Amino acid sequence: EAWKVFAEPGYLDVLWRTIGVSVVTTLGCVLLAVPVAWRIHRASARWRSWMLLLVVLPFWTSFLVRVYAWRVLLQANGPLA
């Protein structure tokens, strides 16, 4: 009975649209990542380190912003104190 709900036209449209967007996004990521990875692989050791840093830096930035946000929220006179 619970699975019958997914057979309704509205749910199927959303499901197929979601699958389509995920396939396009995956292909886009692969099309961007493979040339970048190939270029990093072919670079000299000195440049490889810098290129990897440029790839990883946005992840560190996101983590750093999240840490500071938690500090602001949880400090002694913060909004959640």
Q: What is the pLDDT of residues 10-64, one digit of tens each?
A: 888 888 999 999 999 999 999 999 999 999 999 999 999 999 999 999 889 989 9
Cβ atoms 80, 69 nearer than 8 A? no
* Whether the model pTM is above 0.75: no
Residue 47 confidence (pLDDT): 96
Instruction: Kindly give, in sequence order, each residue whose CB lies less than 8 Å from that of residue 48, ignoring residues fewer than 6 positions away.
Output: 40, 41
Q: What is the largest CA-CA distance in the chain?
A: 61
